[in-house]
Structure 1
Amino acid sequence: MYELVQAVLDSDEKTALRQLISELYSSGRQYFLQNEILQAFEDYCHKFQKPAYFYHSSTIGELIHYTHEILLEEESVWFLFRPRIASQEVCKLAADLTSVEPMTPQALLDLRDRLVNRYQPQILEIDLGPFYEPSPTIRDPRNIGKGLEFLNRYLSSKLFADPQHWLEALFKFLHEHKHNSIPLLVNDRIHSATQLSQQVKQALRVVGNLPANEPYEKFRFQLQELGFEPGWGNTASRVRETLELLDRLIDTPDHAVNEAFISRIPLTFHVVLVSVHGWVGQEGVLGRAETAGQVAYVLDQAYSLDKKLHEDIKLAGLDLLGIQPQVIILTRLIPNCEGTLCNQRIEKVQGTENTWILRVPFAEFNPKVTQNWISKFEIWPYLETFALDAERELLAKFGGRPDLIIGNYSDGNLVASLLARRLKVTHCNIAHSLEKSKYLFSDLYWQDLEEQYHFSLQFSADLISMNAADFIITSSYHEIMGTPDTTGQYESYKCFTMPQLYHVVNGIELFSPKFNVVPPGVNEKSFFPYSQTEDRVPDDQQRVYELLFTREDRQILGHLENLDKRPIFALAPLKSVKNFTGLVECFGQSQELQERCHLILVTGKLHSSEATNLEEKGEIERLHELVNQYHLEHKMRWLGMRLTSRDLGEAYRVIADCQGIFVHPARFEAFGVTILEAMLSGLPTFATQFGGSLEIIQHGENGFHINPTNLEETATKILEFIRQCEINPQYWQKISEQAIKRVREKYNWQLHTNRLLLLTKIYSFWNYASQDNREAMLRYLEALFYLMYKPRAEKLLEQHRQR
């Protein structure tokens, strides 16, 4: 980018750059983001009557389109460029454009501090980069999020290049593997990798002479004499296939064979899913509005894991030993549980063989707070003690250590990292959504936001847990790296400042193979296509139809005069980022939309007196203002209530019966499970172009992208679809069927769980066999926890005690 800047300065376009910068200075502002920069350049081109090509095709136009930030000082202008995904460059120009020089990330962070008048010359710098240097890294940004594929190829290349070392490591890994002191796979009769190779061939001769369906227990002791314990398969054919894969891996290493073999090995029996701050339960509660999606995800994931683990145990022949896999959802016990079961220590997950919700109370050193639900922004002081207490409970419940700990959200991942460190087990990080990306300048102005959000604790916890994790699961590529025009959630942790607290010059290695895109599925018991009539309950259908369209209730606003219009359906908690006010304003401003459609909103609340925070209160009040301003009382319905999963699934289907559409108007959405639910139900879906939905929906094929900040354009896209449906009655059906197909093929829990367990096995072997010294990084992260995180958590605890 330095060369591009220099090219502008050496050309006639230098005058245009000087004039543009002068326009920025005249605004009186110092900080400009990408959309503001593009708008300023467009305004400049219009003001100075530049030809049409100048905005897009000139050298300065190219430079501006790569620019993500411009920062103005009295004597200099700083440009932050993002020439491609996963790459940032900084240049400083003299204000008179006489010179340009590249700048370091440290210099940029100092500048940002100066611009908010919070600069201090000596400040803690956090740099995780050196700890990733010994590890293999991905080179091509397009392969970020494909860590499993990369690591498989890397491992097979190592096996090929240094077979003795890696085969010995594989032998030891198999030999040492046990479950609760029960030896599995390889016993003491085999002493080396060389002998393992020989014995595999002998074992293959034994099982090759047996009928394919011969049960393992009939030839178990023959294999045991050769050095093989249970775990290879439940029949002769299954054992033969697994041993053949090992034989091929030993003789001719290949990444596909490596993956196939590792996937067969029974390594995972006990799994912990950590979800701390939500109301985690099954009856009468499914999280709070802010965590309902997370809790549904965890319950669905647990159900799928339970099913898959039991299948794998049976296929491996381990049911012969009475081995029972177990999944535990670890959450907090809430004494004042508001009529739910969240005050019960243990609860069986319905429909599973051996999955439980284990609730551990927060230590009773502050009962006025800990007896009640605690917001995700306030929970930080209690997590370390919770982790220690949970460790004892888990060891007792499992009768030993778990094999995998999965953290959910920032608080759950911090607890997971503490548990995994103490128990020395594999840690998977699932953020779901990182708050840093949701709140503009939340790092730069953290001190102003600290009383309400405590971002110093959350961002520190994120840095600790995401780097401590053995692997990270994201729902989309966008979550890691964003797009060519937008920064990804994890990418936002790469380099940032929290003035007067610390600078992060390298907070996460985005090219690390620890990142894996593994999208979730949908609970197909609750959410299935509207056309699947044999699974629908007519009474539910009628009741939910009346709820959406006709029922009178204190928690429902609006009375529809004409029920024949096409419904527009939207569902979300009342948060500003969900942008329901934008959707209502879009509907209110379009007379044609009002003539052709009804708007039906489902939120958790209807009255401002029900709000639990200022943001929620503001959203409710603004929605009421818009309803009155555009006289929408007879053109929309607003349900201020929480629907059960069963009713919500039927709500999507009832809207589909009416050939309606689903709109997700969020300003940003990390992924959007409701998008999957609506699509699987058969609803043509219009979803924000800002976030993971870009990867869910293929525009025009199985749904549509909208820019929710452009209300007129959003209305136009919806109306274009409706007109197409009127011209071609099969068009709605076509998009509906393609939406169902998209979700079924790519977003299902079976795919997710198979991938998750394979990741666990591959990363467990990698950590065992590699020469990387993760201990140094973990010690560094411990220092951050005890010297940065913990003192601030104790300070927050003191505030809680004074309430």
Structure 2
Amino acid sequence: MYELVQAVFNGDEKTALHQLISALSTSGKRYFLRNEILQAFADYCHQSQKPAYFYYSSSIGKLIQYTHEIILEEENTWFVVRPKIANQEVWKLTGDFNSFEQMTPQTLLDVRDRLVNRYQPHILEIDLHPFYESSPRIDDPRNIGQGLAFLNRYLCNQLLTDPQYWVEMLFQALQGLKHDKTLLLLSDRIPSGIHLAKQIKLALKLLNERSPDEPYEKFRFDLQELGFEPGWGNTAARVSQTLQLLDRLIYSPEPGILETFVARVPAVFRVVLISVHGWVGQEDVLGRDETLGQVIYVLEQARSLENELREQIKLAGLDVLGIKPHVIILTRLIPNCEGTFCNLRLEKVEDTENAWILRVPFGEFNPEITNNWISKFEIWPYLEQFALDAEKELLAQFQGKPNLLIGNYSDGNLVAFLLSRRMKVTQCNIAHSLEKPKYLFSNLYWQDLEDKYHFSVQFTADLISMNAAEFIITSSYQEIVGTPDTIGQYESYKCFTMPQMYHVVDGIDLFSPKFNLVPPGVNEKIFFPYSQKENRDSNLRTQIHDLLFTREDPQIFGHLDRPNKRPIFAVTSITSIKNIAGLAECFGQSQALQERCNLILFSSKLRPDETASPEEAEEIQKIHEIIQQYHLNGKIRWIGMRLPSCNLGEAYRVVADSQGIYVHFALFESFGRSILEAMISGLPTFATQFGGSLEIIENQEDGFNVNPTDLEGTAKKILGFVDRCDTHPEHWQEVSEWMSQRIHNRYNWHLHSNQLLQLAKMFTFWNFVAPENNEARDRYMEALFHLIYKPRAEKILEKHMGR
């Protein structure tokens, strides 16, 4: 970057830079983000009649392309430059244009504080860098999110470097495995790693004399004589394969062998999925609007994990000992549950044998608050006591400790941290969506937003849990480090200010192997291709077709003058971020789209008076106004009701029957569950280019990623696709099949659960053989919890007690 800055500063382009800064200063603004900077530079190039190459290829053009922020002060101009993914630099240009120098992150945080008139000279600095300094790190940004593969390679290199030490550590890790009082894998007849290597040879010789299909029970006692306890496999062939993997690992370690061996180690039997605030129920409940996606995710994950664990236990030969998987979804019990089962302490998860929803009530405090559902923004004062109460309930329910804690969302991750510290259990974090990057400048103006959102508590909770977790799973690469043009969700926690509270100088190591890309799946019993006619209920199909196209109902707005036109379909909650109003306006502004297509919107509400949320009410009213403004009556149907999942699955398929299109038009989407559902149903899907959906669709030449702020451009993309389908009728079918197969092959729950359990085993093993600096790190997190989080959470509680 230095060379590029010098090229601009020492050459003819210095004048252009001066003129661009002068043009920005005339706007009256002081803080500019990337899109505004690019637009200002484009305007400057046009007004100055610069040649076409100047915008992209000149030194200043390249510098501007890398620049994500410009801050104007009276004396200096500050550039936040991102020359590559996960790498940010701060440069200061003096007012006299005599100096352009690189600065520290601390100076940038001071500048941002001054910008909002909240600078103070002495402020707490949070710096997590020392805790990652001696840890193994991924070198190539392209490999961020592939922590498991990195650790496999790293550990194999360690085995080769010091084989005697690592074989002994491997032995100790295996020797310590047990389920309750049942010893697994190794007994004390094998006292060391060297002895283990010898005994493996004897065991393999014994197994070679057996039929490959011979059940473990028939030779169990012969293996125990050699020091091998249950857990190696359910047949002679399986046990032999597992021991051969270990033998090869000892003498010629390779990443693939290590990964395959660790996958077979029976180390996880009891799993807790923590989803605290969600209104967690099953069919016809499935959360409130703000938690709907998370609740569906957790229920499907619980089913999949139980299935995967059951299969692994069977293959390990442990089912004959009566060992069963046990999965618990931990959430809060809500006394005033509005006719649902959310006041039931224990509820079995449907389609499982031993997965349960365990609900633990919040401590009473003010029952007017705690007996009711509490928004995710208000839940913070109750989480510490909830964790203490939940610990007792979990120990009683499991009759022992769990092997893995999986937090969901910011509050669930904080509870996972508290439980992990007390129970000494491996902690996994899943954010789904982090609020900080979702709300622009939310950290900078946190004091103005505190009464409504309590971001000071939430962002502190995020810092604590993401650094304390043994591993973090994300749905997409972008979730971690974004794209060359956008900042990742986790990357936004790297360096930021909470003016007059603290500065985060280094909040997370994005190159840590703790980050792992493990996207969720989709329930293929409910969401499957429209072409699978044999799996569809003809009566349900007729009902849903009627609902979407013709039925009159108080919860349905609008009729279709020409119902045979190609439908554009959207299913979403009503928030400004989800931008359903933007889609309606895009449709309204394009007469060509209206001529060729109908728009069918599906949301949970239809009228402003149906919601207590001012944001929802405003968005609903906005859609009604757009319909009136663009005279969309006869061209739009808006259905405001909640459907059971099986009906929603059929809705996607009914739209596909008419060769329709699905559009996900969010301003930002961390992943997008409905995108998976639509694609696997066979609907060609257009989705926002901002967020993880970019990776789901893997933008083809047809261009199915859209910019939700470019209404005209989006309409042109959709019309281009419609034209191709009209010209070549097979085109719709080809895209439909490609999208459906992509979801089936890459986004399925079996893959998700398999990878998740593999990560749990590997990171548990890693923490055993190379515990690093974790205790010091976790003590630091406890200090943040007690000194920053708790006092601020108690302020929320004071307000709740006064209601």
Classify the TM-score, shorter chain.
over 0.9
1-structure distance, mates of 2:493, 2:185 = 42
Q: Does residue 1:503 correspond to 2:503, yes or no? A: yes
2-structure distance, mates of 1:69, 1:589 = 32
Q: Does residue 1:191 correspond to 2:191, yes or no? A: yes
2:243 maps to a residue whose letter is L
Q: Does residue 1:623 correspond to 2:618, yes or no? A: no
CA positional deviation for 1:703: 6.9
2-structure distance, mates of 1:57, 1:770 = 48
Give the structure 2 partner of residue 397 of structure 1. 397
Q: Does residue 1:118 correspond to 2:128, yes or no? A: no
Deviation above 4 Å: which 4+ runs of structure 1?
none
Give the structure 2 partner of residue 692 of structure 1. 692
Give the structure 2 partner of residue 269 of structure 1. 269
- What is the identity percentage for the equivalent residue pairs of Structure 1 and Structure 2? 68
Give the structure 2 partner of residue 414 of structure 1. 414
Q: Does residue 1:220 correspond to 2:247, yes or no? A: no
* Residues 703 and 18 of structure 1, relative CA distance in 2, 3 Å threshold: closer
2:6 maps to a residue whose letter is Q
Give the structure 2 partner of residue 370 of structure 1. 370
Does the 8 Å CA contact 1:283/1:341 hold for their aligned counterparts?
A: no
| Secondary structure in structure 2 of the residue aligned to 1:331 | strand
| Secondary structure in structure 2 of the residue aligned to 1:344 | coil
Give the structure 2 partner of residue 481 of structure 1. 481
1:60 maps to a residue whose letter is I
Moved more, 242-251 or 94-103: 94-103
Deviations 1:506-554 (A, max 9, x none): 0000000000001111011110000111111111111111111111111
CA positional deviation for 1:593: 0.7
* Residues 545 and 50 of structure 1, relative CA distance in 2, 3 Å threshold: same
> How many residue pairs were aligned?
803
Give the structure 1 partner of residue 466 of structure 2. 466
Does the 8 Å CA contact 1:557/1:633 hold for their aligned counterparts?
A: no
2-structure distance, mates of 1:261, 1:51 = 60
Does the 8 Å CA contact 1:684/1:702 hold for their aligned counterparts?
A: no
Does the 8 Å CA contact 2:41/2:55 hold for their aligned counterparts?
A: yes
Give the structure 1 partner of residue 439 of structure 2. 439
Does the 8 Å CA contact 2:347/2:357 hold for their aligned counterparts?
A: yes
Give the structure 2 partner of residue 645 of structure 1. 645
Give the structure 1 partner of residue 166 of structure 2. 166
2-structure distance, mates of 1:578, 1:432 = 15
Give the structure 2 partner of residue 680 of structure 1. 680
Give the structure 2 partner of residue 790 of structure 1. 790
1:246 maps to a residue whose letter is L
CA positional deviation for 1:283: 3.1
| Secondary structure in structure 1 of the residue aligned to 2:460 | helix
Q: Does residue 1:715 correspond to 2:718, yes or no? A: no
2-structure distance, mates of 1:703, 1:334 = 45
1-structure distance, mates of 2:802, 2:468 = 34
2-structure distance, mates of 1:37, 1:589 = 27
| Secondary structure in structure 2 of the residue aligned to 1:569 | strand
1-structure distance, mates of 2:48, 2:345 = 70
Give the structure 2 partner of residue 657 of structure 1. 657
Give the structure 2 partner of residue 741 of structure 1. 741
Give the structure 2 partner of residue 344 of structure 1. 344
Give the structure 2 partner of residue 260 of structure 1. 260
* Residues 216 and 701 of structure 1, relative CA distance in 2, 3 Å threshold: farther
The unaligned stretches of length 5 or more in structure 1 are none
1-structure distance, mates of 2:595, 2:685 = 20
Q: Does residue 1:75 correspond to 2:75, yes or no? A: yes
1-structure distance, mates of 2:477, 2:635 = 39
1-structure distance, mates of 2:9, 2:226 = 76
CA positional deviation for 1:453: 0.6
2-structure distance, mates of 1:259, 1:13 = 53
Does the 8 Å CA contact 1:470/1:514 hold for their aligned counterparts?
A: yes
| Secondary structure in structure 2 of the residue aligned to 1:222 | helix
Deviations 1:471-506 (A, max 9, x none): 000000000000001000000000000100110000
| Secondary structure in structure 1 of the residue aligned to 2:340 | coil
Give the structure 1 partner of residue 571 of structure 2. 571
CA positional deviation for 1:773: 2.4
1:567 maps to a residue whose letter is P
1-structure distance, mates of 2:55, 2:96 = 23
2-structure distance, mates of 1:201, 1:420 = 39
TM-score (norm: length of structure 1): 0.99
2:651 maps to a residue whose letter is A
| Secondary structure in structure 1 of the residue aligned to 2:390 | helix
2-structure distance, mates of 1:26, 1:3 = 29
1:326 maps to a residue whose letter is H
Does the 8 Å CA contact 2:283/2:644 hold for their aligned counterparts?
A: no
Does the 8 Å CA contact 2:688/2:706 hold for their aligned counterparts?
A: yes
CA positional deviation for 1:96: 2.2
2-structure distance, mates of 1:553, 1:316 = 55
1:802 maps to a residue whose letter is G
* Residues 612 and 703 of structure 1, relative CA distance in 2, 3 Å threshold: farther
Does the 8 Å CA contact 1:427/1:471 hold for their aligned counterparts?
A: yes
CA positional deviation for 1:562: 1.1
2-structure distance, mates of 1:465, 1:709 = 33
1:353 maps to a residue whose letter is E
1:222 maps to a residue whose letter is D
CA positional deviation for 1:339: 1.1
Q: Does residue 1:526 correspond to 2:526, yes or no? A: yes
Does the 8 Å CA contact 2:345/2:358 hold for their aligned counterparts?
A: yes
2-structure distance, mates of 1:80, 1:564 = 52
Give the structure 1 partner of residue 143 of structure 2. 143
2-structure distance, mates of 1:586, 1:773 = 53
2:298 maps to a residue whose letter is V
| Secondary structure in structure 1 of the residue aligned to 2:358 | strand
2-structure distance, mates of 1:293, 1:493 = 24
Does the 8 Å CA contact 2:702/2:721 hold for their aligned counterparts?
A: no
Deviations 1:389-431 (A, max 9, x none): 0000000000000000000000000001111111001111000
Give the structure 1 partner of residue 667 of structure 2. 667
| Secondary structure in structure 2 of the residue aligned to 1:732 | helix
| Secondary structure in structure 1 of the residue aligned to 2:531 | coil
1-structure distance, mates of 2:106, 2:698 = 40
1-structure distance, mates of 2:481, 2:121 = 31
CA positional deviation for 1:699: 2.3
Does the 8 Å CA contact 1:703/1:735 hold for their aligned counterparts?
A: no
1:223 maps to a residue whose letter is L
2-structure distance, mates of 1:701, 1:684 = 14
1:465 maps to a residue whose letter is S
Moved more, 147-156 or 168-177: 168-177
2-structure distance, mates of 1:365, 1:9 = 62
CA positional deviation for 1:700: 3.0
Deviations 1:218-276 (A, max 9, x none): 11111111101000001100000000011111111111111111111100000000001
CA positional deviation for 1:782: 0.1
Does the 8 Å CA contact 1:702/1:735 hold for their aligned counterparts?
A: no
The unaligned stretches of length 5 or more in structure 2 are none
Counting only pairs closer than 5 Å after superposition, residues 450-461 of structure 1 correspond to structure 2 as: 450-461=450-461
Give the structure 2 partner of residue 756 of structure 1. 756
CA positional deviation for 1:100: 1.4
2-structure distance, mates of 1:378, 1:370 = 11
| Secondary structure in structure 1 of the residue aligned to 2:588 | helix
2:661 maps to a residue whose letter is I
Give the structure 1 partner of residue 305 of structure 2. 305
TM-score (norm: length of structure 2): 0.99
1-structure distance, mates of 2:687, 2:209 = 58
